[in-house]
Amino acid sequence: MNAIAAATTTSTGEAVQFWILGTVAVIGALSTVLLKKSVHSALSLAGTMVVLAVFYLANGAYFLGIVQIIVYTGAIMMLFLFVVMLVGVTAADSLKETLKGQRWLAVGCGLGFGVLLIAGIGNASLSTFNGLGAANALHGGNVEGIANLIFTKYVFAFEITGALLITATVGAMVLTHRERTERAKTQREMSEERVRGKHLPPLPAPGVYARHNAVDIAGLLPDGTPSELTVMKTLRDRGQIRDVSQEALADLKALEQRSGERLGREDADAVARGANPASAAENSEAAK
Amino acid sequence: MNPVNYLYLAALLFAIGASGVLIRRNVIVLFMCIELMLNACNLALVTFSRMHGNLDGQIVAFFTMVVAAAEVVVGLAIIVSLFRSRHSASVDDASLMKL
Amino acid sequence: MENLIALLVAAPLLGAAVLLCGGRRLDRAGHWLGTVLAAASFVVGVVLFADMLGKGAEDRALHQHLFSWIPVEGFQADIAFQLDQLSMTFVLLITGVGTLIHIYSIGYMEHDERRRRFFGYLNLFLAAMLILVIADNYLLLYVGWEGVGLASYLLIGFWQHKPSAASAAKKAFLVNRVGDMGLSIAIMLMFTTFGTFAFGPVLESTGETSEGKLTAIGLMLLLAACGKSAQVPLQSWLGDAMEGPTPVSALIHAATMVTAGVYLIVRSGAIFNGAPDAQLVVAIVGAVTLIFGAIVGCAKDDIKKALAGSTMSQIGYMILAAGLGPIGYIFAIMHLVTHGFFKAGLFLGAGSVMHGMNDEVDMRKYGGLRKYMPVTFITFGLGYLAIIGFPGLSGFFSKDKIIEAAFAKGGTEGWILGSVALLGAAITAFYMTRVMLMTFFGEKRWQPDAEGHEPHPHESPKSMTIPMIVLAVGSVFAGGFFAIGDRFVNWLEPVTGYEHGHSPLSVATVTGATVVALVIGVGIAWAMYGRKPVPVLAPRGSLLTRAARRDLLQDDFNHVVLVRGGEHLTRSLVYVDHSLVDGVVNGTAASVGGLSGRLRKLQNGYARSYAVSMFGGAAVVIAATLLMRAV
């Protein structure tokens, strides 16, 4: 492996491995982007990451290759899957584009960017490869070499990374934590709550049995009393219910009185018609 | 085969990932695409490490992984709380920054 | 001695400040304070004059530097005074006549409740006029020039409750602004040409300057002079200015303010000497105004307006003389001084007549006043004889010299200018005789006014008659005193320069012709107004008369050409403003607004859109980097 890594050109085995696995990686990446369901995207990405881990190993980065498999594929991608499970399938999964021109711009930018990057790499003179053989051998292996660098040259960065991880952990907890302010309800309480205190049939409409049908006028029950239930809760709470049940009766009374007065002047008529004995009696009382 | 091919592959994966960020609306998939871009970078860094014959490139790739892990933790937490409040995993729904 | 110069200005300036800021408690003594301070200024002037006479001709000029006004690198404006013979002449005339008019006003304004303020304005005017004539640079002269304009505005509109007075004041101010514009442009041109505007450096370096620049400066100075001295085409304000109280007409519009233009031209003689074209224009303007004013004077029935026409005409003489160059400068000033005497006297006489006639100004309602106001008659008569150039009196000497000098100009121009001056003398004799006959001779024609008050013509109080007598004495003797033995010429020559003009006609011929013109003018007037009774209502008159009654249509001209033209110009400018300027402005705003409205759509709030922009930008950066490396 050391000899291979040191050479400018690689062995045929690695070439075969690269072309096969490279194709797989690209397909995985494309599937990540193009598959409709996020679960499938996550699995495709996991595949691509495993392929990349193999490429790390092929490039002499044994430690990173293993870490890639354990951390990325094993931990991070599983985390993704958990979140996908939490969120579930949503309308956002649809591949239909809603922003005008966004897809063409995105494809154009992606293609242009890729072409530019590849052109840049092609332009760079990268013909010589030193290989990692010497570097890995210096401390007795790849892991030892990396450990040596991490705990000497990059020790501060390493420590700060630790702090970052702690901060991220705390941050994730803060973001997802919900403070409970009351006792959790038992299942019995919840089922009782669902039935009691609620009208199971629909509420009566306002003004249905009244002479008005404004929303702030309560409907009348068969016995003539207004039912507050027929008025919406907001108005009820504000006390803005108009009670017209007595009003109607008063109107009626006034009407009868007026007609009575008119009849009083034409007494004979009223008597002859005998329209309303009660009101006629009232009328005669008023006349006295 | 010339090991430069690894770099070409990295560029390709990066471009695909970037396109995915722009195309997908599901915030989780979008996040996966970002991971894909980070991994493409890591591949490039490992290849560079091999080219130069020292381990510093791998160290940087290692740090990238750590930072990516932290980012994923916070990012997914954000996604979860976003989903809780908005009942949507679409990035387009979080468009309050417009006039 | 030169430290006294500032005192000349300080006294009336103090008076103005005290009287205008002092408030009512000064009402009782204000007029005395004003008069005393004017007189004090006159005394200082006399002291300086006596001192000046004691010195040799060459070192008579005094100079006082008070302080640096605007000390900027490359732009030095000083408050500094220069008193030479020319300024001295003006100082004595201004303070002398001014003091007399102050005294006269005590009586004339006796019944006016705003008399204190009137004296404040008079003092302000004196101070401004003195600054004008003793400034040692054009910028300070401009200060005085504007101050005079302001005081003139305040005094013409003194009876501001009369709409006619208010509008006359406004008119005078506006027309004067046109002239002021000329002066300010002239000063700017001077500064760009000479780098300074002090008299000394400017007037000494005219020889090294191109004639074109001098002509431009000269014409702008002429414009200024036209405004202040009521010369064609800026003459229209003088007639209306008679709305002011009569002492104002006497002070400003006869003796002092209107002479500022003459002073400016004579003071800038070196510039005009270097620009013959501008000088010729000056002479032409003078000649035109001379005839113009005289014709207007012939037709007016308002005594003050007739005198105003006369003033215009006489100042035309002075400007004409000033336009003749070194052969005329001194005679311009000489006529100015004698005119100051007799015209002030005539105006004060007119004021006295009006004072006795219930402020009636229509001469057709006077007649036969010589019996009722003998002192006024005699002093007015002496002024009359002086102005028409009766041999031996002031006007005779000064006007005769100007006519001579006009002939001496030489060539066709000389003949034309001389003939015009001679013709003017005849018309002067005509209209002044007309005024004299209509006012003091003939039947009495006055009638009760609208309220039935019969005027009781009476002689004016002493405070009014004494100044008239003094001025009459001046009108009689000043000319002879100046002319005999060339006293005035010798006095002014070091400042203005002098060349003796060689007239194609002998002196005797010119004098004879003047006298003949005088006799003809008086004769015609006698035939028209002396032999037959004057109708109380003005006859319709010929076309010229009717035009002359309307100031030869100057206001109509101004209205049609300037007002209407201005209105049209404004309207078209408003149109251009609305359509073009506003179009550009609104168009810019609209296009920016539209662009913003479209750009706003880029800010759609979608993170993915922003990401595209970022990504595209990154691609561009990489492309640029690659390109730069490839190049």
pLDDT digits (tens, 9 = 90+) for C208-259: 888 889 999 999 999 999 999 988 888 888 888 888 888 888 777 777 888 8
CA-angle at B43, arms to B41 and B44, nearest 5°: 65
Whether C622 sits inside 8 A of A105 (CB atoms) is no
Whether A87 sits inside 8 A of B79 (CB atoms) is yes
Which C residues, 572 through 631, put their C-beta within 8 Å of a C-beta on chain B? 600, 603-608, 611-612, 615
> Which range, of A269-273, C300-304, C466-470, C482-486, averages the lowest pLDDT?
A269-273
Q: pLDDT tens, C175-209?
A: 999 999 999 999 999 999 888 888 888 888 888 88
Residue B94 has pLDDT above 60, yes or no: yes
Which B residues, 2 through 31, put their C-beta within 8 Å of a C-beta on chain C? 18, 21-22, 25
- How far apart CA C315 and CA C293 sit, in angstroms, is 9
| Single-letter residue type at C583 | G
CA C153 → CA A206, C147, C569, distances in Å?
A: 84, 10, 28
Whether C607 sits inside 8 A of B22 (CB atoms) is no
Sequence-distant (6+) residues with CB within 8 A of A120 are C622, C626
Half-sphere exposure of A213 (CA within 13 A, CB side): 3
Select the residue from C606, C609, C621 to test the A interface by mutation, using most A Cβ atoms within 10 A. Answer: C609
Residue A211's pLDDT is 57
Residue B89 has pLDDT above 60, yes or no: yes
What domains are defined for chain B?
Answer: 1-86 (1.10.287.3510)
Q: Is B82 on the interface with C (CB under 8 A)?
A: no
Q: Is A191 on the interface with B (CB under 8 A)?
A: no
- The answer, yes or no, to whether the previous bond of C448 is cis (omega within 30 of 0) is no
Whole-number average pLDDT of chain B: 88
Whether B26 sits inside 8 A of A26 (CB atoms) is no
Please give the structure tokens belonging to residue B88: 């949507």
Contact criterion met (CB below 8 Å) for C4 and C47: yes
Whether A165 sits inside 8 A of B49 (CB atoms) is no
Q: Is C615 on the interface with A (CB under 8 A)?
A: yes
Give the residue with greater pLDDT, C597 vs A8: C597
Sequence-distant (6+) residues with CB within 8 A of C73 are none
- How far apart CA C173 and CA C245 sit, in angstroms, is 17
Phi-psi region of C18 (alpha: psi -120 to 50; beta: other; left: phi over 0): alpha
**CATH class of the structural domain A10-88:** mainly alpha
- How far apart CA A100 and CA A104 sit, in angstroms, is 9
Please give the structure tokens belonging to residue C350: 């007119």
Residue A155's pLDDT is 93
Whether B16 sits inside 8 A of A29 (CB atoms) is yes
Whether C605 sits inside 8 A of B25 (CB atoms) is no
Residue A198's pLDDT is 66
Residue C316's pLDDT is 92
Task: Tell me the pLDDT band of C140, cut-offs 50, 70 and 90.
Answer: very high
Average pLDDT over residues C444-459: 74
Q: Is C68 on the interface with A (CB under 8 A)?
A: no
- Total count of residues recorded for chain B: 99
Give the residue with greater pLDDT, A285 vs C473: C473
Residue C284's pLDDT is 92
Q: What is the DSSP string of C442-500?
A: S-------TT-PPP---PPPHHHHHHHHHHHHHHHHHHHHHHGGGHHHHHHHHHH----
From the list C605, C611, C615, the residue facing B95 with the nearest CB is: C605
Whether A79 sits inside 8 A of B73 (CB atoms) is yes
Q: pLDDT tens, C107-116?
A: 888 888 888 8
Extents of the domains making up chain A: 10-88, 138-177, 203-267
Give the residue with greater pLDDT, C58 vs C151: C151
Residue C281's pLDDT is 92
Q: How many CB pairs under 8 A join A and B?
A: 264
Q: Tell me the nearest-neighbour CA distance from C602 into chain A, angstroms.
A: 11
Residue A4's pLDDT is 44
Q: pLDDT tens, C124-136?
A: 999 999 999 999 9
Which range, A74-78, B11-15, C456-460, C624-628, is most confident?
Answer: B11-15
Largest CA distance in chain A: 134
Q: pLDDT tens, C2-54?
A: 788 888 999 999 999 998 888 888 888 888 899 999 999 999 999 999 888 88
- How far apart CA A144 and CA A141 sit, in angstroms, is 5
Contact criterion met (CB below 8 Å) for C6 and C64: yes
**pLDDT less than 70: residues of chain A:** 1-9, 89-93, 127, 197-201, 204-213, 244-245, 265-288
Residue A214's pLDDT is 74
Instruction: Supply φ then ψ for residue A177, to 5 degrees.
Output: -75, 140
Instruction: Supply φ then ψ for residue C592, to 5 degrees.
Output: -65, -40
- How far apart CA C621 and CA C612 sit, in angstroms, is 14
Residue C630's pLDDT is 77
Strand boundaries in C42-89, DSSP class E: 62-72, 75-83
Contact criterion met (CB below 8 Å) for C148 and C237: no
Half-sphere exposure of C615 (CA within 13 A, CB side): 30
Q: Which residue is closest to A151 within chain B, CA to CA?
A: B59
Q: Tell me the nearest-neighbour CA distance from A102 into chain C, angstroms.
A: 7
Instruction: Supply φ then ψ for residue C380, to 5 degrees.
Output: -65, -40
Average pLDDT over residues B27-56: 91
For chain B, the 3-state helix, strand and coil shares in percent, each to the nearest 5, are 80, 0, 15
- Please list the residues that pair with C68 across neighbouring strands: C78
Q: Which residues of A touch B50 (CB under 8 A)?
A: 5, 59-61, 129-132
| Single-letter residue type at C278 | A
Contact criterion met (CB below 8 Å) for B80 and A161: no
From the list A135, A146, A154, the residue facing B53 with the nearest CB is: A135
Q: pLDDT tens, B65-82?
A: 999 999 999 999 988 888
Contact criterion met (CB below 8 Å) for C259 and C318: yes
Instruction: Give the per-residue SS3 of chain A.
Output: CHHHHHCCCCCHHHHHHHHHHHHHHHHHHHHHHHCCCHHHHHHHHHHHHHHHHHHHHHCCCHHHHHHHHHHHHHHHHHHHHHHHHHHCCCHHHCCCCCCCCHHHHHHHHHHHHHHHHHHHHHHCCCCCCCCCHHHHHHCCCHHHHHHHHHHCCCHHHHHHHHHHHHHHHHHHHHHHCCCCCCCCCCHHHHHHHHHCCCCCCCCCCCCCCCCCCCCCECEECCCCCEEHHHCCHHHHHHCCCECCHHHHHHHHHHHHHHHHHHHHHCHHHHHHHCCCHHHHHHHHHHHC
| Single-letter residue type at B86 | R
From the list C604, C606, C622, the residue facing A116 with the nearest CB is: C622
